[in-house]
Amino acid sequence: MNLPKDFVEKYNNLLKTDGADFIASFEKPAISGFRVNPLKKQLPTFPDPIPQTPWGYYGKISGHSIAHVSGVVYSQEPAAQMVGQIAAPKKGERVLDLAAAPGGKSTHLLSYLQHTGILVSNEISTKRSKVLVENIERFGGRNVVVTNESLNRLAAVFKDYFDLIVLDAPCSGEGMFRKNPEAIKYWDTEYPQECSLLQKEILRESIKMLAPGGRLVYSTCTWAPEENEEVVSWLLEAYDFLELEPVDKINGMKEGINLPQTARMYPHLFKGEGQFVAKLIDKRKTKRVFPKSGRSNLTKQQLELWVEFQKTHLRIQLEGVLQSFGQELYLLPNDLPDLSKLKIARNGLHLGTFKKNRFEPSFALGVALTSDETISSIAINEDDFKQYLSGNIITLEKEYPKGWYQLLVAGNGLGFVKIVGKTIKNFYPKGLRTP
């Protein structure tokens, strides 16, 4: 790999005796990884687990596999997995993933929340926010709102709100050079310092949203001290109520430069790409009290249609606030502030659509529910799975009562389908279908 001369010189000086091994590691292939999804009931077994992680594995997963399409796995390289693991939200907490696309951190945080609390995943890019929504829906997230907002507008709504904020900040991307050699073209000696200015700007707004007593996890996929330890030092100086909490060093992590509480991941020591992580605790005591979130805006007929569907098809009572947006029905997490002034890419869990005196369940609902949470389901094999992804109808060997069924593949939900006689009508989203 043709690394910039200034980059090589910088890290040889910084890492001293480790410098040669560090530079040599760029000639080795990038390390791939994935996580299994504990929100799913039926999980296949995989070889090569990442040590000291609850859900991580080394290896690659095909984007067309049953495991990927049904949300059983999420591809994420091993160093990036450490951010969510260090954040480790507790059940019931209010969590913000501030630069969330494409969804690796958000889905990892959901694994810890276990359908409790609130996750707000923000992505300022409209295009990337759509990918984020797709990945969260495939993962089966229920208690998630995806916002598509600038930081100042977000901070105005969520002041002092979050128990945990995770910021995997935009950075110079040095830790991705092996995975994406094109990133080398953007690097020069001044680039890390330029990135640090943006990181501080983001953090100024982030702190406004941190609840007293909350936690802030700051990470980058770079090794530049200007973007890592120097930014953390600035945080500690600018906000005297913040305090560093030590990060456990596992699997070859190293202490941060002059900040031993922080963690660095180098590819010659850690089996993965590059990452820096710091965890800060807010020592303020007073907590802001928020009013209970809104009331349902459903008409009497809409509510009756939803209650009838839930009674007929679900074994559980979904918790949250029912909100209709036009003819679309969503379930928002409880205790949200007023979101009317924000651009929303996903209003909680999409439950379905009201159509002429009937209710049609959504794909997202059928993916989010496990097989023991629905009353009627139909399982298909791998051949039928491929046909379904292509948008084709599936013919069954026997007739079934007409109605809605959760479609199962390898034991996990792949949306809802309507069965008429021996025919499964295809409701797989057109934008996700394969040729």
The catalytic site residues sit at: 221
- Check the annotation: does 102 bind a ligand: yes
Q: Tell me how many degrees the CA angle 123-335-240 measures, rounded to the nearest 5.
A: 65
Taking CB atoms within 8 Å and a gap of at least 24, the contacts of 307-313 are: 308/359, 309/352, 309/359, 309/361, 309/404, 312/375, 313/361, 313/374, 313/375, 313/376, 313/404, 313/406
- Check the annotation: does 383 bind a ligand: no
Q: Which residues contact 320 (CB under 8 A, 6 or more apart)?
A: 142, 143, 331, 332, 333, 334, 348, 349
- Check the annotation: does 44 bind a ligand: no
- Check the annotation: does 401 bind a ligand: no
- Check the annotation: does 99 bind a ligand: yes
| Phi-psi group of 228: left, alpha or beta (phi > 0 → left; psi -120 to 50 → alpha; rest → beta) | alpha
- Check the annotation: does 240 bind a ligand: no
Q: Which two tokens stand for residue 306?
A: 């939803």
Separation between Cα atoms, residue 35 and residue 71, nearest integer Å:
10
- Check the annotation: does 168 bind a ligand: yes
Separation between Cα atoms, residue 363 and residue 381, nearest integer Å:
19
Specify whether the CB–CB gap between 28 and 266 falls below 8 A.
no
**Closest by CA position to 208, among listed 244, 246, 160:** 160
CA 387 from centroid of its chain's CA atoms: 29
Q: Residue positions in the annotated binding site for S-adenosyl-L-methionine?
A: 99-105, 123, 168
Annotated binding-site residue numbers = 99-105, 123, 168
